[in-house]
């Protein structure tokens, strides 16, 4: 194949065995390359790895089934560890996982995410949950949490407690209500003052929210303004005249940061989730091509 | 015209030695990398429950897990896993587990998917309701309790560890605990909790929130509780998650053995 043309030597001669061999090898290489390319082209399944990574128990169409999920399933179904599980148990769990993965993939092929309400709801929920998970991942510094607590101390106050007696002046009473209230303040006996105790607050001390339900707004507002041991002025309402005798009124008090830190963290993260979710929503809308029919804008 | 000097024998020899040295270093690095990779793969393929019993797997796990724990978890749990009363993070060195029984695969799930961290694979089943609020629980309708009822339930809870001071209040508290308030539903009838949903044992001396006094128990009943552990599944590799789980399991395992 080598030669000097100026000296009249030919570059390639079919009579030269080495030249023939090199041509055949070259052609065989080209054919082999074409065959491999053809097989790759017509049987391609995307990029794939031949070995199952150590963190996975299997690959289904290259989608990994995680070893941690496999261990969890063994624990959940049979309460066994990997070494305690029998071959049948292992097979059952793996078969179930492969079955589920195949059906999920088939579901996506069939477009279940477009047709099935439950799948759509689960997908939307999962994306929202992912945002929540991202927010939970970024734990705030202690100073940030404390600042949040300082800005929302009323939210972390204790629940107020009320204990009182709610009296109604008897309709037939001839006593002046203000005189009755004054007598009560001096230790007068309610029965001798023509007072009837209502059923509200009969169970003793109650949290503010419960007292508000039992007393209704007008009496509740009046009661929370009184201090422990005080008697209200007569309160004229639609159902008659009421007088409140407050035994105990414990106002809501701020709770210390140490006592409520878990709640502060929860609320802080919930707020971050809202911010992230709103940002996510804006981003999705911005990049989407949304066309709304006329009249429905 | 520049004159090209022939290279001396010495410089050729130095070049050859350097090339061989670089090649040798690269080979050693490659071998070490492959060995490390193999050890990592062996750890991932092993039964997590058996890792601490194997010297080789254990040393691999702790070599990866201990620094990863300090990097990812120490901010809340402390550098040695002793917990932090202010952050209400548990002591990971004892044999008390809120979720599960301290098996490495259970810990691994928490490392990966967290507690109330937004993952459906995580621990999200229940929280302690705030019985002193108008709506104690977001998840379902539970009736609130009054201050006296909370005091009674507190006495009942104290009685589970033999510390009740009021027999009549304890009896009333038992009725509430086992009644519509639904306390028994999570903490079980005998108050020993349910590690499946993270309901703590009320009969022992370990308290995650407060000091176990009547006041701190009443606070938990009145205002509820719900701790959070982030999910690390998107932040660390499966190998690191496994290694951290083994390291955490080793904290209590080593202490007890």
pLDDT digit string (tens) for B52-105? 999 999 999 999 999 999 999 999 999 999 998 888 899 999 988 999 999 999
Q: Does B129 touch chain A (CB under 8 A)?
A: no
Q: Does B144 touch chain A (CB under 8 A)?
A: yes
CA distances from B104 to B237, B248, B250, B251 (A): 16, 8, 9, 11
Q: What is the pLDDT of residue A297?
A: 82
DSSP B191: S
Give the three-state DSSP class for B31.
Answer: helix
> pLDDT tens for residues B1-33?
555 566 678 888 888 899 999 999 999 999 999
Cα A223 to Cα B224: distance, rounded to the nearest angstrom: 27
- Neighboring chain B residues of A266 at a CB cutoff of 8 Å: 116, 226, 228
Q: What distance, in Å, lies between the first and last C-alpha atoms of chain A?
A: 78
> pLDDT tens for residues A250-281?
999 999 999 999 999 999 999 999 999 999 99
Cβ of B231 within 8 Å of Cβ of A126? The answer is: no
Grade residue B180 by pLDDT with cuts at 50, 70 and 90. Answer: confident
Q: Does B40 touch chain A (CB under 8 A)?
A: yes
Cβ of A136 within 8 Å of Cβ of B116? The answer is: yes
pLDDT higher than 60, residue A2: no
Q: What sign results for the dihedral spanned by CA atoms B236, B240, B246, B247?
A: negative
Cβ of B48 within 8 Å of Cβ of A82? The answer is: yes
Point out the least confidently predicted range of A12-16, A107-111, B112-116.
Answer: A12-16
- Neighboring chain B residues of A130 at a CB cutoff of 8 Å: 118
**What average pLDDT is seen over chain A?**
90
Cβ of B223 within 8 Å of Cβ of A263? The answer is: yes
Indicate yes or no: pTM above 0.95.
Answer: no
| Distance to chain A for B60, nearest Cα, Å | 15
Q: Which residue in A55, A69, A82 is closest to B239 by CB distance?
A: A55
Cβ of B148 within 8 Å of Cβ of A204? The answer is: yes
> pLDDT tens for residues B118-175?
888 899 888 999 999 999 998 889 999 999 999 999 999 999 999 999 999 999 999 9
Question: Per-residue b/e over A65-82, b at no fewer than 16 CB within 10 Å?
Answer: bbbbbbbbbbbeebebbb
Number of Cβ within 10 Å of residue B24's Cβ equals 10
Cα B92 to Cα B102: distance, rounded to the nearest angstrom: 9
Grade residue A133 by pLDDT with cuts at 50, 70 and 90. Answer: confident
Rg (chain B; Cα; Å): 28
Listed by number, the residues of chain B in 50-79 with a beta carbon closer than 8 Å to a beta carbon of chain A are 50, 75-76
Grade residue A5 by pLDDT with cuts at 50, 70 and 90. Answer: low
């Amino acid at each position: 194949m080598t030669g000097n043309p100026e000296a009249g030597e030919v570059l390639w001669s079919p009579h030269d065995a080495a030249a023939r061999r090199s041509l055949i090898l070259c052609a065989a290489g080209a054919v082999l390359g074409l065959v491999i390319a053809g097989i790759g082209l017509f049987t391609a399944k995307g990029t794939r790895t031949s070995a199952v990574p150590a963190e996975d128990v299997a690959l289904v169409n290259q989608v990994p089934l995680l070893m941690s999920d496999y261990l969890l399933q063994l624990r959940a179904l049979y309460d066994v560890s990997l070494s305690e599980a029998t071959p049948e148990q292992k097979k059952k769990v793996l078969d179930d996982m492969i079955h589920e993965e195949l059906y999920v993939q088939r579901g996506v092929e069939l477009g279940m995410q477009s047709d099935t309400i439950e799948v759509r709801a689960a997908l939307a929920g999962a994306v929202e949950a992912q945002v929540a998970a991202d927010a939970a991942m970024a734990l705030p510094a202690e100073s940030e949490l404390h600042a949040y607590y300082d800005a929302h101390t009323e939210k972390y106050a204790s629940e107020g407690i009320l204990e009182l007696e709610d009296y109604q002046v008897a309709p037939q009473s001839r006593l002046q209500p203000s005189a009755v209230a004054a007598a009560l303040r001096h230790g007068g006996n309610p029965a001798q003052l023509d007072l009837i105790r209502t059923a509200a607050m009969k169970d003793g001390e109650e949290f503010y929210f419960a007292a508000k339900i039992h007393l209704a707004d007008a009496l509740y507002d009046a009661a929370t303004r009184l201090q422990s041991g005080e008697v209200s002025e007569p309160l004229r309402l639609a159902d008659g005249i009421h007088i409140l005798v407050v035994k105990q009124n414990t106002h809501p008090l701020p709770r210390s940061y140490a006592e409520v830190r878990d709640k502060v963290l929860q609320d802080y993260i919930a707020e971050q989730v809202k911010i992230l979710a709103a940002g996510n929503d804006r981003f999705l809308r911005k990049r989407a091509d949304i066309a709304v029919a006329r009249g429905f804008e | 015209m520049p004159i090209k000097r022939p290279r001396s024998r010495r410089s050729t020899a130095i070049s050859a030695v350097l090339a061989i040295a670089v090649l040798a270093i690269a080979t050693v690095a490659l071998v070490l990398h492959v060995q490390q990779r193999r050890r990592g793969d062996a750890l991932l393929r092993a039964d997590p429950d058996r890792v601490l019993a194997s010297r080789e797997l254990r040393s691999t796990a702790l070599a990866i897990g201990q620094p990863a724990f300090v990097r990812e978890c120490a901010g809340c749990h402390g550098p040695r896993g002793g917990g932090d009363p202010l952050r209400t993070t548990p002591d990971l060195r004892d044999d008390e587990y809120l979720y599960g029984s301290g098996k490495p695969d259970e810990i691994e799930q928490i490392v990966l998917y967290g507690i109330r961290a937004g993952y459906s694979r995580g621990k999200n089943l229940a929280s302690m309701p705030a019985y002193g609020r108008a709506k104690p629980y977001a998840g379902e309708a539970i009736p609130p309790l009054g201050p006296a009822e909370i005091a009674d339930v507190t006495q009942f809870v104290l009685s589970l560890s033999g510390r009740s001071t009021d027999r009549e209040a304890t009896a009333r508290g038992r009725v509430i605990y086992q009644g519509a308030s639904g306390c028994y539903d999570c903490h079980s009838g005998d108050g020993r909790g349910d590690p499946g949903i993270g309901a703590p044992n009320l009969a022992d001396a370990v308290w995650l929130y407060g000091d176990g006094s009547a006041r701190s128990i009443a606070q938990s009943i009145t205002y509820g509780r719900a701790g959070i552990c982030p999910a690390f599944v998107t932040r660390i590799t499966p190998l690191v998650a496994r290694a951290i789980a083994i390291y955490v399991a080793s904290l209590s395992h080593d202490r007890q053995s």
